[in-house]
Structure formats: C-alpha cells, structure tokens
Amino acid sequence: MRRRRRSAPTVTEPVEASAESALPRRLTPPRPRLPFTLQGSVLLGILAVIGLGVVWLLASFDILPTALVVAVPSAAAAFGALWFLAALVRRNPRGIVFSAAWLGGALSLLLAAQGIAAVGTTLIGLVFIAVGAALILRGLLMANQPL
C-alpha cells in the first residue's frame, strides 16, 4: 500500500500592506487530485452516447417530431463517418475501431428511424460487421502498429 506524501499547505501573501491587510494569513489546503484523468475526446464520446440514449428514449415515447427522429441518427452516422475518416488519415488504430462501432450503431438507429428494421435486430449485427471491416482495414493499412 502506497502512502501519499502530504504537501505543505500554501500560504497566500497579502497584496498591499494596508490596514485591511493586517489580517492573519489564511492557509489554503492543497486541492485533492482525482484518482483518474479524462481526455477531452473520451468525455465528448461519453456525452454523445448519453445524448443519443436520451433522444432514443424520447423518440420511443413519440415525444419528438418525425423529422428530428430521422435527423439525429443521420447526424450520428455523419459524425461516425467523419470520425472514421479522420482516424484513417491520422492512422489511429483505436479511433478506427471505435468510430466503426459508432457508425454501425448509428446506421442501425437510422434503419429503425426509417422503419426498415428494428434496432434490436440490426444493432449487434451492424456493429460487428463494422468493427470487423475496420479491423481488416486496419490490418491492411497499419500492419505494424499495435492496437
């Protein structure tokens, strides 16, 4: 079990030497560090998944207008396609796989929004097909890079 070193509390110095600054110095304890860090792209992805879930829930209760029900999966598919292309250009293997999974899920939602097939019947299949195609493409283009 590791022990953390306690850092000395910081002391704030008064700016001016006036009658008001004759108060005693205030000690501020150090700010505790979080046991984890989040990158901006990961946080954006988490918020996007939560947003899609909320939109899907509202669409299943028929609260959203039909134009928005089709527009949101289309926007999610466009985002996934752009993310996939950006990952290909940057040669980012994880980005290729994750964006392919996002694109498969978005295409499944788009098929459901257009009334072609239900999400439950297409989600797993499209995500597996998209991730498999991304892994094959990754293997062909970036054979020497680890995942």
Cβ proximity of 84 and 135 under 8 Å: no
Q: For the chain, what are the domain ranges?
A: 40-141
Phi, psi of 126 (to 5 degrees): -70, -40
How confident is the model at residue 45, as a pLDDT? 82
User: How does 59-69 read in b/e, with b if 16+ C-beta sit within 10 Å?
Assistant: beeeebeeeeb
Cβ proximity of 104 and 73 under 8 Å: no
Cβ proximity of 84 and 100 under 8 Å: yes
Q: Which amino acid is at 40?
A: G
Cβ proximity of 40 and 24 under 8 Å: no
How confident is the model at residue 5, as a pLDDT? 59
Q: Which range is least confidently modeled, 34-38, 83-87, 101-105, 125-129?
A: 34-38
Q: What is the pLDDT of residues 106-132, one digit of tens each?
A: 999 899 888 899 988 999 999 999 999
Q: What is the pLDDT of residues 43-68, one digit of tens each?
A: 888 898 898 788 778 877 888 887 88
